[in-house]
Amino acid sequence: MTSDEIYEVLTSLGYTLHDRGSYWQTNALFRHGDNKTALQIYKDTGVWRDFVQNTPPLRFEKLVEKSVGGDREEVEKILSNKNFDDLIGQRPPSCAKIQSEEIYPAESLKKLLPHYRFYNDRGISDETLKIFKGGLATQGQMYQRFVFPIYNEHL
């Protein structure tokens, strides 16, 4: 599906798209939203996010489905004239700094050393640092760096 086809589908559903280069921004018609920057839709894939509801990146098909009230027949009808198969399984463009998402087992946190002096000198207590499970890495890409684990709520 080309960006022109994605544009055509969205405008036929009533979206007013604001061009931002590699993506469009618009309001969330499916929930009667009035924030014109709530949705970000990538032109090349149709992958979109709702920043107001803080959704993860979702496939174009899901936006069409929400826009027609969940009516699967209507979704199929809208997308049947388009080469939608090209987009199945596509992911959103990634940030240039991120090569790939890595998931580490929880046991790897046990390898972090409680070397808190840097943060203690700046007024952050040991108790606070323990809550966030931070520590000094002793190996790998983060060797000799203080690490705070980041958790993905969508996994």
Q: Which amino acid is at 138?
A: T
Give this prediction's pTM. 0.53
Residue 152: the pLDDT is: 72
Which of 23-27, 74-78, 144-148 is predicted least confidently?
74-78
Q: Domains along the chain?
A: 3-87 (3.90.580), 106-147 (no CATH)
pLDDT in tens, 31-90: 999 999 999 999 988 999 999 999 899 999 899 999 988 888 888 888 876 555 444 444
